[in-house]
Amino acid sequence: MKQFRSGLLLLLVALVLFGYITLVDRGKQSTEEQHRTEKQIFRFKSQDVNWLRIAAPDHSVTLEKKDNHWWIASPVRAEADDSAVERLLTELEFLESERTIPAKEVGNAELLKQWGLAAPSLTVEFREGKETRGLSIGRKTAVRDLLYARAAQDPGAPVYLVNSAVADRLNKSADDLRNRVVFGFDSLFVQRCGVEQAGSAPLSVEVMRQGTKWQLLKPLTARADATKVDEWLSSLTTLRVRKFVSDDGASLNQYGLASPSDQIWVDQKGEKPREERLLIGSPVPGAPSDVYAKKLSGNAVFTLPAAMVQHMARGFFQSVRDRHVVPSFSVSEVVRLQVEENGKSIGFAKRSQGWTVDGDGYKGIVDLERVEAFLRSLRSLETQAFVQDVPSDLRVFGLSHPEGKVVIQTVEAGGSSPAPVELLIGKSEKDGTYVKNSLEPFIYRIASQWLQDLPKEAWQWKNREVLQLQPKDVQEVRLAFPSCSVTIRISPDGRILLNGAEGAAAPQAKMAVSRLSQLRAVRWIGPVRPEFGLSKPEATVVIQASRVVTLRIGALLPDGGRAAQVEGDALAFEFSAAEFQALGELARAGWKPTTPGRG
């Protein structure tokens, strides 16, 4: 009980001490905050300001806030950069005086003139509601990096000494505070966009949104790449004015804007439908990296980076045209795939048990990964070049009687089954192979290397699962090599016996049984041939389970694996080199002499 009371007393002391420290810290923070607040020249919230004026001997700018957005009212009527104005107001809101000279110590007007406050180098005025306040800035002090400053509307105000960097941060012209964003649309609401190119070969390009996709309408009807269109729109929103040149909207000829070389336009739908159109003029004399430009809806002439504008206008058509050879489809919705090449036809069909194949040499389950990988490859296949948009003679490209064909059939989520899509494969030349899909007239040229992905034989895509046994059902495995062999038995109580005895290699043997039960081929290598060496195998594996399975492992293959065959199967496959080595080590670990001539 005494120990309990002592512990409780210590806890109370700790709590009291903690509370005291917390209150002291809060007191310190409050004092520090108070000192900082006392040094602030103004007391206002920047978000409450609705009018602002900056005046210097050589320039002035007046701004007004309407609907939470800042506008330049003079010397031009234009949108302001909200963030730039807010930064300036924040500078004023938290402006601190390094030293304050009381009004009674200021003296006469001569002293104010001496400090540069009779004719300030900069005056900043702002208004909250109906109250206008401001700051006049004079010259630098003789010592330290400070400036004289005084409240602009109060002749009886004290004089403040402020950091000289404040003048640079407050001294902003109309150009400094002007909104330099060229396009202000929301890409989610853009329905149409495009470019118009003038010159000897005029071109009009237009794309239209169709749900989540984009469609080219001009200069031809074709698929547009949604990703590329979105990237192009995103780039437009990053375009910024380099320099404002004129605001009177006159004499456009001198800027090449009366007959612009290019126009970029965006049609935005929504609560406020509107079109934004940018006119591109001539290069800026003496600054060839810039071009003149203006918005059709405004009078301001400004400059933009020529390279970026050139890329966005002149490169638009080739950039946004969809280069995929086959219209987009969902791999999960494909239910049939037909491949025809060299007079052979291989058909793949999606069944409840997986993909099956029907072709010469093999009929049955195929490797799901191979089928889906090929379909993804087909979906992402892009053209190297658009050869012809309206071909006059398919024979020129070997497409009147194609050398090959890939056909896919899909079933959509609602159960509807659109027409099959065919990819016709024409003749190959050194630059590539001509192809055409059955839905569009366009001739494409693709890399001939892609044709290597086509299955040449049905068995090439056979399921790579060679054996599908349950390890718990395996009773015995016999490994026989020319110089050694081992018999692995699994006793009813789960013990692993090598040649009738337990040993250090039991874990290794258990792992081998598990891997052999679920054996997968590295790849299928086709019908058994003499060169596979399977008539006189390098190793034989006999597995006693729900059925007896005999596996023969033969000759070394060029890539390091081994040819192998399950007895009764006409096809051979590649057995992993690592698995072969592991089985050899296991056989040597449980070695016993083999009968001469035994294979």
CB atoms within 10 A of CB 536: 10
Q: How far is CA 162 from CA 39, 41, 57, 88, 142, in A?
A: 10, 10, 20, 16, 13
pLDDT single digits (tens) 562-575: 999 999 999 999 99
3-state helix, strand, coil in the chain (%, to 5): 30, 40, 35
Q: What percent of the chain has pLDDT over 70?
A: 91
Q: How far apart are CA 512 and CA 505, in angstroms?
A: 11
Residue 117 has pLDDT above 80, yes or no: yes
- Read off the pLDDT of residues 182-235 as tens digits, 9 standing for 90 and up: 998 988 899 999 999 998 889 999 999 998 899 999 999 999 999 999 999 999
Q: Is 409 helix (H, G, I), strand (E, B) or coil?
A: strand
Residue with more model confidence, 505 or 74: 74
72-79 contacts, C-beta under 8 A, 24 or more apart: 72/174, 72/177, 72/178, 75/174, 76/174, 76/247, 76/300, 78/174, 78/178, 78/179, 78/247, 78/300, 79/178, 79/179
Which contiguous run of DSSP H or E holds residue 3? helix 2-39
The per-residue pLDDT of the chain, averaged, comes to: 89
Q: pLDDT, tens digit, for every residue of 250-301?
A: 889 999 999 999 999 999 886 566 899 999 999 999 998 999 999 999 899 9
Average pLDDT of span 132-143: 90
Q: What is the pLDDT of residue 599?
A: 39
Q: What pLDDT digit, counting tens, does each position of 421-441 carry? A: 999 999 999 999 999 999 999
Q: Is the pLDDT of residue 177 over 60?
A: yes
- The confidence score (pLDDT) of residue 37 equals 61
pLDDT in tens, 153-164: 777 789 999 999
Residue 11 pLDDT: 64
Decide: residue 407, CB within 10 A, 0-12 exposed, 13-18 middle, 19+ buried.
middle
What is the pLDDT at residue 372? Answer: 94
Q: Above 70 in pLDDT, residue 14? A: no
